[in-house]
Structure 1
Amino acid sequence: MTTTPPTAPPPPLLGVTGLHVTFPGRQGGPPVRAVDGVALAVRSGEIVALVGESGCGKTTLARALLGLVPPASGRIEFAGRPLTYRSRALKAHRKRVQLVLQDPGSSLNPRHTVYDAVAEGLRVHRYSGDEKEAVTEALARAGLRPPERFLLRLPHELSGGQRQRVVIAGALVLAPELLVADEPVASLDASVRGEILALLLRLRAELRLAALVVTHDLGLAWNVADRVAVMYLGRIVETGSVEEVLTAPRHPYTRALLSVLPGTAGDPVVLSGEPPDPARIPSGCRFRVRCPVLAGGEAERAGVAERCRDEDPGLSDAGAGVRVACHWAEGRAAG
């Protein structure tokens, strides 16, 4: 009796391996390591939240995924094929991967109508179909119904939530496979945020649209994402399913971020100081200068304090599909 060998799982829609993005240092100083060895994957129909403090490299990573910032090294693959930086290849890539920015006010030209704002992508990519039909369908999918009411309006005539929906419609009109949404609700009132997050979930259900949601808010990640990747000082330090990472965080940095959410049990963890300069990343674990586990002696008692100071931890298996870059957490998982 012959058995059929198991088929290999399909490659992720978006795959990032060993990605580094650097910028020149100030006054001839060392280069700024904005993205410093990131590995990340987003599968078709999946929402992944990329979480971290301001300045950790989230937005630079998002722009690199669109080909807007060239990497110093590493690899970005989309649908199993490497991203190349020839103009024609980049144009084709940006049709399939669309960026939704934080501030719809700055994304929209105040002199352009809603129709022109949404149709802009079609014109750039020389769409050959019925432009008006495509625009109205995108507006309807983004929740602006009936779309004909909005076509001739200018941005100042819309609410903040409506403007964000126009920006999303401008992305949807090109039928992308992945949205990269950089703080998509940060500038909106609390009453509107839930509507936009519900829209992302509906688009995933209806279109099997994948999304990478860049945010500083772990609460947002809990509400919308399937998986979460926590970023600190240019690198992913913990990643896994939302349920695993947010109910049983392994990395001390993730624990600190979660501790300040409303309704969280226990006292908030106040991290000392500011994140280090990305041009001067500390030796050993990049979080060690702010780590409460190292400062409180827990790492010493676990026998990993010297490794924290000397060895840069890579992502390792922490169980339940979670990967973490932390010597202390790695030891706890092994024990």
Structure 2
Amino acid sequence: MSLLSARGLHVTFPGRRGAPPARAVDGVDLDIGAGEIVALVGESGCGKTTLARSLLGLVRPTAGAVAFDGQPLGYSSGALRAYRKRAQLVLQDPSGSLNPRHTVYDAVAEGLRIHGIHRSERDERTAVAEALARAGLRPPERFFLRYPHELSGGQRQRVVIAGALVLEPELIVADEPVASLDASVRGEILALLLRLRDELGLSALVVTHDLGLAWNIADRVAVMYLGRVVETGTVESVLTRPQHPYTRALLSVLPESEGAPVVLTGEPPDPSRIPSGCRFHARCQLLASGEATPVADRCRGEDLPVLPGGGERSVACHWVTTA
């Protein structure tokens, strides 16, 4: 049974000044198993952050349902409070996540206090020290009285991770966890997430635009475009044998890829103007080159089903399914 699952998830935001509503998430099934790391990848504006926030209960879906450990997610204040102790968010900007007026100790202990986990001062100190040590800040007592401006970017991100770990969650949702860090530090943070999975059995959803990051950390990958997952499967199957033309385009710009990068034409994704048929058809390099001419009418007019949320390899593409 999946630890976290979404079924038929939709998130729609009202349009401005009479504009059509924005369908940020437009039908998604997604499963995350216990101890599994799933990478959710796609370019900016594809809806991946909105999907992640809806999975955490921070954005209430317009339709569909989220379940955690087999139980439907409730949206009362009490239900969300209990859920957010078990599922924690790690944001991409550690500087923005930390109050500059709070010490490292207070930043990590804040979760314990918010959730009313009553501990003696000694127990709280022990819990904070253990969380900092697990996040790789050793000896932890050395960091207690420091402020965020006294830390490096990598150390600040570790403090944010420690603030999540202090509540002993079962799931971490990391939104671009290394995007703001120097290249020399990114590997350390990714190695930390893998170690936490191995030592604590943590599950994780890692939201990223970087397929190289997904390759290094994920067990499974879901590629998202314009509000919907268009390709999913194990990281090896998707990233070594990409089938959807959008996935191929994303992979083509990696330094280690062979051949010329694929330059996508047309307008970038607009969730208020989702086209009929395949939502990628206006920018598809296979249609533009004529390779997909036999299925061109289907691409432009026939909708594709929502992909299953489990681990099986799936692709939402008329050309792939008929080839």
Could you say what secondary structure the match of 2:193 adopts? Answer: helix
TM-score (norm 1): 0.93
Q: Distance in 2 between matches of 1:275 and 1:19?
A: 23
Q: 1:146–1:220: structure 2 CA closer, same or farther, 3 Å change rule? A: same
Which one of 309, 317, 323 corresponds to residue 326 of structure 1? 317
Task: Indicate yes or no: 2:288 matched with 1:295.
Answer: yes
After superposition, residues 133-144 of structure 1 pair within 5 angstroms as 133-144=126-137
Q: Distance in 2 between matches of 1:312 and 1:298?
A: 20
Could you say what secondary structure the match of 1:286 adopts? Answer: coil
Q: Report which stretch shifted further, 273-282 or 263-272.
A: 273-282
Tell me the CA shift for residue 167 of structure 1: 0.1
Tell me the CA shift for residue 28 of structure 1: 1.9
Which structure is higher in RCO with an 8 Å CA cutoff and minimum separation 6?
A: 2
Equivalent pair of 1:315/1:323 in contact (CA under 8 Å): no
Task: Indicate yes or no: 2:209 matched with 1:219.
Answer: no
* 1:47 counterpart letter in structure 2: I
After superposition, residues 1-335 of structure 1 pair within 5 angstroms as 11-129=1-119, 130-300=123-293, 303-315=294-306, 321-332=312-323
Equivalent pair of 1:143/1:165 in contact (CA under 8 Å): yes
Q: Distance in 2 between matches of 1:312 and 1:250?
A: 18
* 1:44 counterpart letter in structure 2: A
TM-score (norm 2): 0.97
Q: 1:117–1:185: structure 2 CA closer, same or farther, 3 Å change rule? A: same
Q: Distance in 2 between matches of 1:148 and 1:216?
A: 35
Aligned residues: 318
Q: Distance in 2 between matches of 1:191 and 1:274?
A: 35
Q: Distance in 2 between matches of 1:112 and 1:52?
A: 34
Q: Distance in 1 between matches of 2:139 and 2:244?
A: 47
Could you say what secondary structure the match of 1:236 adopts? Answer: strand
Q: Provide structure 2 residue ranges, at least 5 long, that are not aligned to the other structure.
A: none
* 2:160 counterpart letter in structure 1: V
Q: Report which stretch shifted further, 223-232 or 290-299.
A: 290-299
Equivalent pair of 1:252/1:293 in contact (CA under 8 Å): yes
* 2:106 counterpart letter in structure 1: D
Could you give the per-residue CA deviations for residues 222-274 of structure 1, whole angstroms, max 9, x where no partner exists?
00000000000011000000000000001000000000000111111100033
Equivalent pair of 1:104/1:160 in contact (CA under 8 Å): yes
Q: Distance in 1 between matches of 2:284 and 2:306?
A: 17
Could you say what secondary structure the match of 2:273 adopts? Answer: coil
Question: Percent same amino acid at aligned positions?
Answer: 75
Tell me the CA shift for residue 316 of structure 1: 5.8
Q: Distance in 1 between matches of 2:201 and 2:161?
A: 15
Equivalent pair of 1:316/1:330 in contact (CA under 8 Å): no
Could you give the per-residue CA deviations for residues 145-170 of structure 1, whole angstroms, max 9, x where no partner exists?
00000000000000000000000000
* 2:164 counterpart letter in structure 1: A
Equivalent pair of 2:28/2:306 in contact (CA under 8 Å): no
Q: Report which stretch shifted further, 58-67 or 170-179.
A: 58-67
* 2:32 counterpart letter in structure 1: V
Equivalent pair of 1:256/1:270 in contact (CA under 8 Å): yes
Equivalent pair of 2:135/2:159 in contact (CA under 8 Å): yes
Equivalent pair of 2:228/2:306 in contact (CA under 8 Å): no
